[in-house]
Structure 1
Amino acid sequence: MKYIEHMKVLTRYFNKKEEVETTIARLAEILSCSERHVKTIVNFLHQAGYVEWRIQRGRGKKPKLMLNYTHEEVHLKEAKQSVKMEKYQAAFFIVSQLEKEAQYTFQEWFRGYLGMTHKNIEDNDLDILRYPFYETKLSMDPLLIISRHDAHMVQQVFERLVEFNRHTGQLVPKIARHFESRDGKRWVFYLHKGVLFHHGRELTSEDVSATLERFLKEDNIKGNEIRMECVTRYSIVFQLKHADYIFPRYLSSLKASIIPIEVFKKDEEGFQNLPVGSGPFQLIRNDNEMIRLDVFQQYYGLRPWLDRVEVINTPALFQDDQSHPFRLTAPDTAWKEVRSIEEGADYITFNCRKSGPLQDSEFRRRICQIIDPEQFCLEGEMVAHSFLTQKSRELDLPVRSNAKQKLAGNVELKIAAQQIREGVNHEREAMILKQQLEQAGIEAEVEIVNAIQFKDPQVIEKYDLFVSGIALSDDRLLSVLTSIHSNQLSIFPCLDEDMKVFINKQVSKMKTFQDETARWNSYFEIEDYLKAQHAIIFLNHRIHTIYESESSQYANIELDSHGRVDYRAVWKK
């Protein structure tokens, strides 16, 4: 038994700061061990400061014992020690068994443990960012990312050929130092030399070809026949059947992050847990305690200021407590909370393919009249008329809902609520939809469906309505095109053949444009068409919270309500 376990036993028999006479025999009885071992235990606890142990001189005088900690304080000390040893789950379990006051004491201490810290480890001075994150299994294979949290982690570990700059609206070189095309069909990418993967091998055009062979099967670009040729070790040609001036932007997708294919093929499951990339941070640890990223010293680009990032796996038990520090907060008082409307929207897709009443456009129109988007909005959110907030503002009209209207006929509809991971889903919105439908005399049933299942046609066939949502990436045009045109999301698979023909023609036309305004105008024609067909109804734009400061010692750091930080850019003055 650990000495601290013996200390816990003693706290049941003696009070803190109350010196009492006792005997070795009495302690042996309490601790259920030999008198010889008692002496070892007491001496250790005395040296460690847990107790005061005083031997009195003189015949018949008993030794005196005084505890320096209560039962709760011993557990707190053990929990803190577990945290310092990176045994976080053990610490959280200990704290979860304590009274609220003791939990709060631990929370206050843990708050100071989080954030930015400077440590000397093995004669190396390290700047470490440490923060908590709720329990979740992240998808580390770039091609399989689902949530923004998956994407965020992939962004730190991997590199792409190019990256979209949301401030300039332009592609910037990453692994590719340059790319060009004269006709939109033949695209040549030239790679940087000396780009290393985390396991030490140089990245070449063969890696690009092998990686993108997986990616180019993605349904939103597979309509264009593409051939790849590795011309040299550091150059690759993409030959397209049809001109596509948006093509390089597809390669800026995080799903197109370059991987060492031999590592992936050797152990696909292991790659999911500890992937190998060429990004600025190397994934060192990914288990039930934490995700640990160390800066990659041989990174070809600008080295990040941070040396290490530790993302602590935090139990859901503490997530419900609004006062609990198990989530990232502003790093100092110079920061202020700024709330803004997030680009992207929640929406309802009508399954126009499934046999039943929703194949009738007039019936879909009447359903749209029943739905009141305002009821889906939380405080501060706005009704959506598009995936883009600016477009929603331009189209902002009074919402006309005929919620009290009764629809004739015995109709039952099945609603699928999109789920990204357990507990993060659109169940709330689906239940509001169910209530609105039932007020109009339509029976409805809600089921939570994992988003990854949407690519299965048999799953799509089961449901009449899909309640989903997306948050747009930096390249908003690419995001909306993917959302509208991908067979792995709910919109495109639910369209009838005529609708799909229209979308395909419109997207093909957009790819021939070199002017961004023309592309957007063409895209908004798609949104208008789908709304006119009553194939989709937009609900709400969500609130997004960030922290901003001009005077903080932290620079280039943006913390959002999900605790995400771009580790590549942050530094401290």
Structure 2
Amino acid sequence: MKYIEHSKELTLHFRKNSETETTIADLSKLLNCSDRHVKTVVKYLHQQGHIHWAIQNGRGKKPKITVLQSNQEILLKEAKHNIQHGHYKDAFQIIQQFDSQLQADFQQWFEKHLGLSQEHSAELSIDVMRYPFYETKLILDPLYILSRHDAHMVQQIFDRLVEYDNVTHQLLPRIAHHWDSDDGMQWTFYLRKSVRFHNGRELTSNDVKATFERFPLNDPIIKNMKQIYTPSKNIIIFQLTKLDFLFPRYLSNMKTSIVPIEVIEKDEHFKLYPVGCGPYRLVHHDENMVRLDVFPDYYGTRPWLDRVEIIKTPYSIHDETKHPLLLNAPNATWNEVRIKEEGADYITFNCRKNGPIQDKQFRQLISNIVNPSDFCLDVGNEEVAYSFLTERSAMLKSANLHPSSEYFETDVVLRIAAQQIRKDANHEREALLLQAQLALHGIESTVELIDLHQLNDCLYKHYDLFVGGIALSEDRLISILTASQSSKLTLYPCLNNEMKTYVDQQITTIKELRDDTTRWETYFQLESYLKSNHILLFLNHRSHTVFEPQNSPYENIRLDCNGRIDYRKIWKRI
């Protein structure tokens, strides 16, 4: 690539397509290298079509050089070379130097590099999915995942004891082929034989036990566990403290993905290069891309897709490039698909902090001020929320969204914390809207971004209101119950002791019930309690509008609850 730098230097001194006399000695000074090396450079650039080098016959006649490519054209070729060799970050840095037309040319070329394709080599043919995604810091240790993108990747690399099917509302066997309980207090899971991790070692009940022993004691998934027994390498028994008929469904949570404990203990890079037993293994993870290859020894159904390459791209590139599902329809033959995201954005009132928020009437005052419809800025893709569930919000929908117009004379200055998972993935927009609405009614406030990974008891002493949101997993009920008691989210830590007692009692009751209808009815009582006591104020639901081609040969290219395509399910018709 040093020759490319020399070529770019020549474009600064010679006009494109203009034949100019020069000498090796002149070029040696210009390129700051020896005469001998200049001859090598000239020969290479001539052969590659960057320049035309003409030797003139006759004594005293100088050679003539013609630069055939502009500096921008050379940069374009360099960017394409980097893309073809997997150096995506270098390529994207180069194109920032392009003019708008050349950026469009590169964009058009880059799109041909993406999508679903079959690639051939001397030994085999593989089916590859390659697509751009904005660069983000993925957390790939299941225990610490927070975002939907983390959960999506963990789903491909790891497996759990069971998996919840949101269509049939049934638990499906995964690592465990069977489970049972006589009393709802002791649960026995029977593991499949010969399940192997990506490092080749066989998974045993000791790995399952060690996976759950990693959890913090106050985690809602395991805090009801009294003891774990491993009578054999393929049997594990969970003894609970309280009755829980929902317990197996908690084990479908992505955080409960089974890990080989010795890898975590010895390898500090586990969060970047995890080892699971899922259908795909992580083979490449750096500043350029994430690459997943199918795991040939996977115990379950082998995915049709052999490889997935997720190219880390700047937002400017990601917003425009192709994906099997596009954000904008290329033409009228593409179908519009609108997908509602279960979950909601919301405001949590910090009832533990000393100050006016402890007063229910003051919380009600703020609730009356806030107009949730103002938070629905993306017309068509956002709607007012009255619950975590979109269907229930539709049932509770009120036409009387008329916030209070009262103005208050007060010296109170509220501190608002906006949830942030990573840079450019936060609720700052919503927090600033809240601040503006409060200001219209005479209540001053400040807004700060708070990293969700850094939440702790000390932080809760400083903020009055938290603005955040959650997206629910396939098992909506378990996802909501877990969020309602999680110390990693803002709701439960903002409750005072009396409120926590009520929440815990309601969830305990839900776990003792055997049918989902009654469970949901009990949860809705809990949700109503949080709303009527002005602890939780729902803002908006989000939707995703995408476009998919008609008559595509590929099946199951659709967004899941993580807003991503489940690679495990893609296949192609002949």
1:27 CA displacement? 2.9
Give yes or no for contact 1:314–1:326 (8 Å, CA) kept in 2.
no
After the TM superposition, which residues 529-540 of structure 1 pair with which residues of structure 2 at under 5 Å, given as runs?
529-540=529-540
After the TM superposition, which residues 6-405 of structure 1 pair with which residues of structure 2 at under 5 Å, given as runs?
6-121=6-121, 123-215=123-215, 217-267=217-267, 269-316=268-315, 318=317, 322=319, 324-325=320-321, 329-330=325-326, 335-378=334-377, 379-380=379-380, 381-405=382-406
TM-score, normalisation: structure 1:
0.94
What amino acid does structure 2 have at the position aligned with 1:11? T
1:128 CA displacement? 1.6
- The verdict on how the C-alpha distance between 1:99 and 1:297 changes in structure 2, with shifts beyond 3 A counting, is same
Superposition RMSD in Å: 2.2
Aligned twin of 1:446: 447
How many residue pairs align between the two structures? 568
1:2 aligns with 2:2: yes
1:133 CA displacement? 1.5
Moved >6 Å (runs of 4+): 560-563
Q: Distance in 2 between matches of 1:518 and 1:411?
A: 43
Give yes or no for contact 1:354–1:461 (8 Å, CA) kept in 2.
yes
After the TM superposition, which residues 506-525 of structure 1 pair with which residues of structure 2 at under 5 Å, given as runs?
506-525=506-525
What amino acid does structure 1 have at the position aligned with 2:152? H
1:217 CA displacement? 3.2
Deviates more, 1:31-40 or 1:141-150: 31-40
Give yes or no for contact 1:23–1:63 (8 Å, CA) kept in 2.
yes
Deviates more, 1:395-404 or 1:39-48: 395-404
SS in 1 for 2:567: coil
Give yes or no for contact 1:373–1:399 (8 Å, CA) kept in 2.
no
Q: Distance in 2 between matches of 1:372 and 1:332?
A: 36
Q: Distance in 1 between matches of 2:17 and 2:540?
A: 59
Give yes or no for contact 2:159–2:277 (8 Å, CA) kept in 1.
yes
TM-score, normalisation: structure 2:
0.94
SS in 2 for 1:539: strand
Give yes or no for contact 1:133–1:563 (8 Å, CA) kept in 2.
no
Aligned twin of 1:425: 426
SS in 2 for 1:209: helix
- The verdict on how the C-alpha distance between 1:144 and 1:191 changes in structure 2, with shifts beyond 3 A counting, is same
Q: Distance in 1 between matches of 2:165 and 2:411?
A: 52
Deviates more, 1:560-569 or 1:307-316: 560-569
Give yes or no for contact 2:212–2:256 (8 Å, CA) kept in 1.
yes
- CA deviations on 1:480-514 (whole Å, 9 max, x unpaired) are 11122222211111112222111111111100111
1:435 aligns with 2:431: no
Aligned twin of 2:497: 497
SS in 1 for 2:119: strand
Give yes or no for contact 1:280–1:304 (8 Å, CA) kept in 2.
yes
Q: Distance in 1 between matches of 2:305 and 2:393?
A: 39
What amino acid does structure 2 have at the position aligned with 1:433? L
Q: Distance in 1 between matches of 2:295 and 2:359?
A: 57
- CA deviations on 1:250-296 (whole Å, 9 max, x unpaired) are 110110000000110112x3111101000111111111111111111
- The verdict on how the C-alpha distance between 1:173 and 1:118 changes in structure 2, with shifts beyond 3 A counting, is same
Give yes or no for contact 2:473–2:561 (8 Å, CA) kept in 1.
no
Give yes or no for contact 2:215–2:222 (8 Å, CA) kept in 1.
no
What amino acid does structure 2 have at the position aligned with 1:426? H
Q: Distance in 2 between matches of 1:116 and 1:549?
A: 13
1:473 aligns with 2:476: no
Q: Distance in 2 between matches of 1:66 and 1:474?
A: 63
Q: Distance in 2 between matches of 1:93 and 1:440?
A: 47
Give yes or no for contact 1:546–1:559 (8 Å, CA) kept in 2.
no
Q: Distance in 1 between matches of 2:162 and 2:562?
A: 26
Give yes or no for contact 1:328–1:563 (8 Å, CA) kept in 2.
no
1:309 CA displacement? 1.2
